[in-house]
Structure formats: structure tokens, C-alpha cells
Amino acid sequence: MNQAVDFVAVSTSLLEALPTVKSSAGESKMVLLSAKYSSEPADNDVTVDEEFRETLNADLGRQICTAIDSCLLQHLVNALFGDTLHTGISGRDELSNGEVEAIGAVCAFLHVTFSTLPLELVMTGLAYRTELVPVLWNFIKRCHENQRWPIFSKQTVHLPGDTPGWLLPLAVFCPVYKHMLMIVDNEEFYEQEKPLSLSDTRCLIIILKQALWQLLWTIPTHASSQKISSSLSSSHKKLSVESIQNRSRDVISKLLSQLQDWNNRRPFAPGIDFHSQEAMSETFVSQAILGNTRASEILKQAPFLVPFTSRSMLAASKERYGPHRALPRNQFKIRRSRILEDAFNQLSMLSEEDLRGPIRVTFVNEFGVEEAGIDGGGIFKDFMENITQTAFDVQYGLFKETADHLLYPNPGSGLIHEQHLQFFHFLGSLLGKAMYEGILVDIPFATFFLSKFKRKHNYLHDLPSLDQELYRHLLFLKHYEGDVSELELYFVIVTNEYGEQREEELLPGGKEKRVTNDNVIQFIHLISNHRLNYQIRHQSSHFLRGFEQLIQKEWIEMFDEHEIQLLISGSLESMDIDDLCSNAHYSGGYHPDHHVIQMFWEVLKSFSLEYQKKFLKFVTGCSRGPLLGFKHLEPQFCIQRAAPLNASEEDLDRLPTSATCMNLLKLPPYKTKEQMQTKLMYAISADAGFDLS
């Protein structure tokens, strides 16, 4: 044990003295290529031939990476853990000096390793050929339960004495555990509870949240720490407190974000577990809105620490989308029968500045006559509802839908529309305009496509949101106990778009490369990558370019996929009828105390949630309410009397109607609740296409 600690200490010092070994620029996420070694000029007076120095460094880099690839790291870690550390110890057992010494040595060595060598060369071995994750987790959990963290003074003598004891273990644990989460499937995580039990994962979330908040908000920058760091030789910079803090901020934030994704797929922890109590205050939110503050930086780096309701308050301020200035007004004539084509031909030519300005629309009917009315915003809302309904209809061919009727770009869109990529760019800008103007549109996107809004890469565990059947087949293959090569599979995928069948290689030479037990995991992830990322890469890229003309990438990254869907379409939660009532306006003789209005609200409250949502779609064009309440509905909801004062019985027996462009309900003055309920239900059901006969 002591010999292992000493050997690791020497190895740590040697790695600290080395410049960083970088990956080659052409490296893929799925296939590891050769590593490239680079260094800074030596701080001495010796003149070294530049070409010789680069060649020497490249050779040295390859030698180091080869040594690491031959399981040196795994042997060192396993030798250190040996009989000293166990994964089964739990509770409030005191840590022995041997445990602290071993953990400190391993963490110092691995932190320097992560700062020196390409991570892709070491992560898989550490994750699956050592006990690093379970041992480190057991250590972290015990320290958390005991509320006492050790000081690794022997391994990190140059760190300030007030450095938190959790800093170094978390800096090492998080990237390795995050790597494991990229590979496990949903059944392993949720059912088999691997790599950690779900209860332990909930505990980990709390620990990470508290640590990240301290790093981002609480821990001040000590002058003493800066002084110590500046006086360190370059060989100790990798183990400086600044280096460890910077890595910890990054890896803890990324791991928490990944755990939130897992929780969104199938909740195992309350959403509030990810929120910091301090980030819920009005002071924090007001500082975040100002920008250039620590609060605004936290929103960029760790938005999940802030409750969604607080973050969504920023959505009400257009300053978050871009600079505020006087903007040009544009007027367009659109034929209703050719709404998408006319809009594409005219609006796609607008600059980013033009898109931010007011857009006014005049509709032209089937006879070529302009429809009456001045667009004060309502006609444009009507235009947005109609064009999104047309463009995102699967019959148009730009989008397809999953078995759950969720939309994603059609991989074969180019077979239908020659200008399909220009259309995707246009639709992205159109959706951005809707969000910019606060117009909710009923477009339900598939989760894996929403990930593209955040420029995220999808993995195997995201595949169920696209193709549940393919996911089951791949899991069967992953856990197949026989000889996979007997299944006669090769590294190819067959696509069939509109009768055109094509066979594509998943990697060069894939048609000749058979799937075996040794490479089946690579095959599974390449299939997932092809379906989730590669097939729609061009469509997604053009869509996002258009979208980001109005919505800044920095702003959208504050939200996860579920929250982005809420920003697009509004809340799916139960409707607050009292809130709608408080923000309603009246015309034509109606007022809040009118007996018809009071009867109306009683009837609406008696509806089931399903019919309340149908009613909302009937009057606004969207079945979901605004994120921040109905006071943010534009234009505000209005109920207008739909009969003259001397109305006949025939007038009083008409169905209610609506003008979704104005969020207007035209309500006849019915005499009884029963009559009002029957008429309302019939109207909203007929509007939704239901047959009540």
C-alpha cells in the first residue's frame, strides 16, 4: 500500500511537469484516433531546432498515450484501493488514515492525468475496469453523512489549508461517473439502478448542488490563494486550487445537467432537488436580469440551480433576446390558399433586424380580394397560427412524427422539396419570431430534436424518444448472451425514404466489418448516432440558424428540453381559471358582475381539464396557457356579447364563436347554465373535430 502511494506520488509529479497531450483535431465522438502532443517553449536559453522539438514531442506523446492505453492507470488505481478501501462500508464509520491517504493520492494523480492526457483514452478504463466510481462514491457519501471532510495535506501540500475537502474527490469522481452515464441504457439506470442506486443518485444530486453553489457563489477568491498560486512553479499549476476549482465547476455543472436529463426522462427525484434555495430569492433574480453579475453567470453555467419560474421571468423581457432599439415595420400580402409559399418568398428575405421589427399581414382571399381589417397584431397572430399549422403538418413533408405524435425533421425532406434546407431555415426563424413576440404555438417536438436547440449530442438513452422499437432491438443485441457474429450483422444501416432504399456504412469499410461480441457496443452507439444525429444534421443545422437569428443561443441554453417545449407551447399543467377570470376584459355590455358572465365562469370551472384546454384552444388557438399567467396573454382575453339588446330567441340559441387572432369569445346571453354548458361544449368540440351527434 505505502509503495503504491509513493509510486503514484512520483507519477503525479512527473505528469505535472509535462505539457498537455491534446487529441487530434479530426477526432470523432465515436471513434478514437491518434493523439497529438503539443508543448510550450521551454523557459531556458537553450536553442532547440523547432522541427526536431515537435517531432520529439509527438513521439513522446504517443509513448505516453500507449502506456496509458495499456492499462497503467487501471493497475495503479486498483493497486491503491486494494484491501484498504471497500465499497460496502457505509454509515458514519470514521475514515482511517490509510483511506484518506489512498483517496488523496488517487485523486491528485487522476486530476493531473485529466489535465494532461486526452480524456477519451482513460475514461472507459477507469469507469469499467476499476472500482473508482463505487469507492469514491462511498467515500464522498460517508464524508457527507459525517459532515466532515478530510484535508489531503500530504498529497497537495501547496493548496491553502482552507481548501474544501470535497473539492479534489468531486473533481475526479464527476467526469468518470458522467462518462458512465453516456453509455448506460435506461433499463440499467432505472431498473437495475446502475452505476448507483436511485436513492444514492438523489443523495449525489444534493451533494453536487451544494458544492456547485459554493463554487459559484459562496467561496470568495482568497488573496492568499492567489498569492500562493502565482508563486507556484509551472509544474504545480495543475494541482493549484484555481485549477481544481475550475475543473470542479465545469464537471459538477455538466454532471448535474446530465442527471437532470435522466430525471426528466423518468422522474426519480423531486425537481426542487436541483434548485438552490438561495437562487429562489427576488434579489438573485433581479441581479440576474441586470447582467454582468455573479447571478447572471450562474444562469449561464448552472441554470438548473434556479427554478424554472424564475428563469422564465426573463422570457418576458425582450432585452434578453437582443438589443432594444427602434425597428423597421414590414407589411406583406399573403394569400390564404398559398400561405406557406407566399410567406417563404417574402419573409425569408428579411434581415435579422427586420425580423425583430413589427410584421403586419394583409390576407388575400380565394377571389384575390384583400380581406378587411387593420393588423394591430391580431392578424399577425392569426397568420402565425395558420402558417405553423401548415408548415409543421407531416403531410407537407418537412417534418415527421414519432409514435407519440411528436415532431422531428424528416430525413427525406430533400426528396420532396428541392429547397428543403431553405425552408428549414425559414421555419426556424418563424418559430423564433413566435417566441420573440410571446405567441404560443401548438407544435409538440420530440425530445431528441429539442436537444438540438441546445446543440447537444444524442445518445442511446435518447433513442426511445424517436423509435422505441429500434431501442428495444438494440438493447436485445447489447445483452445478447450468444455469439453476436452468428447474427450476420455488419456496420451498415438500411434507410427507406419514400420507396428509395439505401444502404449506408456506419464507418469506413462497414460493409465488410462484421458485428462481434467485441464491437457490438460500438455498433449499437453508431446506429443510435445515425438515427438521432447524423440523419437530420443538415435539417437541424439550418433550422437552428434561422431560430438563432432572433433567440440568442446563450438565452435558450438556460432551459432544458422540457422547458423549451413550454416556452414554445405554454404550460401543460392544470389551467388556472381564476387567473383567466382576473385578467379577462369585456365588451358589448358585459361586465364582471353581469349575470351571464358569472354564469359563464361557473360553467367553465365545472368543465373537466380536457374541456378547459379545448376551450382555451377554441378562443386563443393554443391549448396551453402562458408560462407566467394570463396577464401575459397577448392580446388579453375578452368576452363580447354576441347578440343585440333586443335579441330574438333565435339569436339566443346560436353557438358561441371566437376570433383566435384577438383571443376573443363572442358569447350570446344564454338564459340558463344548462343551455350555456351545452352550447359551449358543442362549439369547442366541433372546433376540435369531435362528432357529438
Residues annotated as catalytic are: 661
Q: Distance between CA 75 and CA 11 in Å, rounded?
A: 13
- Output the CA angle 529-531-537, nearest 5 degrees: 80
Please, which residues bridge with residue 361 across strands? 332
Q: Distance between CA 45 and CA 109 in Å, rounded?
A: 31
> At residue 533, what are phi and psi to the nearest 5 degrees?
-125, -55
Q: Distance between CA 465 and CA 532 in Å, rounded?
A: 9
Residue 231 near residue 219, CB atoms below 8 Å:
no
- Environment class of residue 37 by beta-carbon count within 10 Å: exposed (0-12), middle (13-18) or buried (19+)? buried
C-alpha cell at 213: 453553489
Angle, nearest 10°, between helix axes 520-529 and 468-478?
170
Classified as helix, coil or strand, 401 is strand
Q: Mind giving me the DSSP string for 322-355?
A: S-------EEEEEEGGGHHHHHHHHHTT--HHHH
Q: Mind giving me the DSSP string for 517-532?
A: TTTHHHHHHHHHHIII
Name the residue with cell 371566437.
Answer: 658
189 Cβ contact list (under 8 Å, min separation 6) = 181, 262, 461
538 Cβ contact list (under 8 Å, min separation 6) = 421
453 Cβ contact list (under 8 Å, min separation 6) = 544, 547, 556, 561, 564
Classified as helix, coil or strand, 467 is coil
C-alpha cell at 176: 468518470
> At residue 288, what are phi and psi to the nearest 5 degrees?
-65, -40
570 Cβ contact list (under 8 Å, min separation 6) = 440, 622, 623, 624, 625, 626, 627
Cα-Cα-Cα-Cα torsion 515, 178, 534, 69, nearest 10 degrees, comes to -50
- Environment class of residue 70 by beta-carbon count within 10 Å: exposed (0-12), middle (13-18) or buried (19+)? exposed
Residue 132 near residue 77, CB atoms below 8 Å:
yes
> At residue 334, what are phi and psi to the nearest 5 degrees?
-125, 125
